[in-house]
Structure 1
Amino acid sequence: MIQKKLISLIFSLLIISIFSSCKKNNKEIKKSSSSEFTLYYNLAEELFEAEKYDSAYLYYNKAKSINDNLTNEQTIFCLFRMATIEQAKCDFSGSEATVIEAFKVSTSTVYNPNLYNMLGIAYEEQANFTDALKNYQMAYTATSDNQYKSIIKNNIGVVFIENKEFKKAIIKLSEVLQEKFVLKDKPTYAKVLDNLGYAYFKLNNPKAINHLTESLQIRDSIKDNYELIASYMHLSEYYLNSNPTLAQDFAQKAYNSATAINTPDDRIEAIKFQIASGNSNDVKKLALKQMGISDSINKVRQASKTQFAKIKYDFSIAQKESEKQKTQKQLYIILFFFASTIFLLIFFTIRSRNRRKLKTISYETETRISKRLHDELANDVFNALTYAETQDLQDSAKKEQLLENLDAIYTRTRNIAKENSDIDTGSNFQDNLQSMIASYISNDVNVLIQNQNTINWLSVKKEVKIAVYRTLQELLVNMKKHSQCSVVVIRFENTKKEIIINYSDNGIGTSEMLKFKNGLQNAENRILAIKGTLTFETESGKGFKAQIIVPE
């Protein structure tokens, strides 16, 4: 019976202390920079004030789980509210865990008195009186508020009663009864007086009835209907042996009051005294009523405990999943930037390499053209100028000779220009390639082309066409300079993946002929650049061979 009276006492006084010490922090919480937290918190507060505790609990849990912009005080306050709801629903083991969680994240002592007090309640309701007393004493030490100290001392006195240490309870409660705050506040004075009277009763001290009766009168005068239940049940227990009829009367009043304000625990307690003080005809009926109420309470409380645990578990799972997705997202972003960096690095490296390569090719081409102009034309131009200056051009034969020399210079200049001009890689490529090869046919050299029609040049990449064109051109130029051949054969072959071009001539074919391979270096580089191969084969007296293999 003391247990139920104690809960009402502690909760009514505790709420006073909560709001006296937390309202300032509460106002600052509402100014939170986190709009999501503010939304959940304000909704939880509205539900809490409306006594819709299950829903309030859900939103306090959501609010405190928003950690990014949540201050330590905000976390503690939400946990404090959740523990309060758990105790209101008699989930004292859950409340204990919640308060301990609050202590773990707390970096401030502002909430310590309230948290220690709540932990004391949780331990006391689980009959762990040693830890309950320890936490009440820590709460007493942690506060400097005299009003709150009186509340804690009263709670300590009630623990002594619960633990059947009635003499210690009388000493502690007698001290509380003389304190200014208690003397001025009628509801508090009546509570302490009732507790003290009950302790006297347990020691058969005659002072008990005066204290219990005075407490009842005060509560009745101020219409404290909730606390009247405790007075009725204490008096019922007091008269249980000496006056069963009066005990029955007080038990009935306790039951009626508990029913009126819907406190099922007190209804069960009242029924116990009705059974103890009633006649045998009423016992069975009252016992069944007690069992029905008790079963209903147990179902509701078990449902609440399960719901609170589920809320915490579900939210924990959701948080872990959210963290997992967040981590994956961050990993994807890191991988994306890493891949982008690698891609850009490769891109700029290749571009830089290609630019250097183009510059090298351009320089080599210019050097080659310059050398050819010097080797093939400079002397001829000089000789033509000398001839024009030294010969009588009035002589038609000499004039005709000069014109022939100039025409030869023009033809060779045009050939050099054509060899280094842009290549048409469109639909005319096959005709242009054939025309280029045919341009090397002369009275002394016959060039044969085999199977060129087997190649579908329209499906071949531009860079491959250019590489093939320039390589064959270079082979023919070197043939004309060095081979001393009379027949050249160029044979085309087409596989599903490659184009194979075999070049052969019946020239001198000595190993010395490979010295001119340096003249084919640009062509070889072109073939390698398109992932092809260019190989040479020569032997004295057996001509010269080359094979070009390029991807189609």
Structure 2
Amino acid sequence: MKIFNLIKILVSIFFLLVIPISCEKENQVIEKKTDNTAEVRRLTIIGDAYFDKSEFSNALQIYEKVITISDSVKNRVDYVDALISIALIQEFKGNYLESEAIATKVLPHLKYLKKPRFAWETYKIFVENYLATNDYDNALIYAKKAYNLKTSARRKTNALANIALVYMRQKHYKKAIKIYKKLTTYGYYGNKKKTNTFKDFELQDYAIMKDNIGICYANLGDSRALQYYQEALKIRLELNDVSNLSHSYSGISQFYLKSNLTLAKKYAEIAYKYSCKINAYSQKKNALKILINSSRRNELKKYSKIYIQFTDSINKIQLTQKEQSANIKYNFKKDKDENLELKNEKAEHELEMQRQKNRSYISYVVISISVISLVFIVLYITKKGKRDRANEVFKNEMRISEKLQFELEKDIDMILSFSKNSNLEKEENKEQFLTHLNNIYSKTRNISRENSEILTDENFKKVLKEMISGYTTSNLNIMINGLSTFSWVKIDRVKKITVFRVVQEIFDQTKMFNNSSLVSITFKEDEKNIIITYADNSTEIQNQNNLNKRFANIENRLKLVKGIFNVSLNQNQGFKVLIKFPL
């Protein structure tokens, strides 16, 4: 039994050792790769065609398929070319971590590739990725590595242009301009320009250098920037260089940002359109920044929201990358800070909008209260005016009644007594009776005229003259001067009424208290004022204080029209009055 068990154990060990080996051999036979060289070549041509047309999404799918099916040794050229192209596409999308990780995979293959273009392209990707993450020291190292390669004059020139680009990002604008101008005026591109033998891809590089000169001048505050931006744009439009048109429009937009917001916004919108077309991260981000700076109100809110969503999505992609490389040092702080700043700006903008709404609500409340108050005041003033007018009518009636009683009471008593005690059949008594009646009529007419409505139309001058002339008697002569020397039509109605009542009251005082035989009243227009002077030849000696009291009512009337009143006493010559009020 023990022997039988020992045999079972030995057989089991045999099967455990032999069967896996046979399976492994079988798997090795199954896993033998087929030769996909022809398919790799075909897909590479298709991928390159998409890449040249800036259809990066389609190109990326093709290149990833090339990586999957190609042999990294047998198809090394196409394999490395696909890696470089994918790294460039990821760079365009702003996936700098992914771009550099893929470019790092190219490094072990460079020693097996005789053509230096692969090393040059790889170093160029590192330069651009380090520039994008503000690592200028490493960017300069790889730019110089590319320049030191034994490669074509064009690539050597472009490597030197990348060194200038690093200087530009380091804000050494004059150093950068010096290199770019040298490259575009002399050397490789200078000769191309003179002979006009540019190829399309060379013109693209030439336009980039022109555009960068414009950027340097713009940062130096030099207006020559616009000239270089426009030169680069013209070349890119002729080439239909979709991948770089956004750069040109962004530069021109940035140039107009301080002087013409409308133009800045117009070019920024075009830049954003082209950046979306090729889905290039840095170009889209730059265009959105300019759109935010050139927009107001709702559009500012719209583009801020797009920018935040865009940078958030890119940051998530970058933060979820797991591939690592010794030379990969990325810091997303700048984007986060910019994002946070924009979120703060958005919050501040929304807060300001809310404040504006609150101010609007407060304004509506204040306006409503003001309107209600105004309506109340108008109603109150209207009601008070009616009440005051009623009171004024009552006062006028009382005053007229008192005046009638004061002026006519004695005359009526006298005429009643006369008619009672005299024989009216006699001619002399009849004439005397009629004279008394005429006196009563005259006094009644004068009182009526004094309290009647004053015409202030074109007949005012005539009415005023008639009123003054009405005080003329057999013992009193009145001289009226200057009444027709200016137009009364242009004078305000209230001022006309004031003149009428003031003059009337002066003559009432003359009639009641003076023994004047001659009165002079003069009307004169002096600049923007009306001046009225009155003088009489009364021989009665007046007291100045009493005189002031007698004319106090006139002074109060004149205050309503901002007028000046002055009365002075002339010994043995009556008094003088000066009235002055603005037109």
Q: What TM-score do you get using the length of structure 1 for normalisation?
A: 0.45
Q: What TM-score do you get using the length of structure 2 for normalisation?
A: 0.43
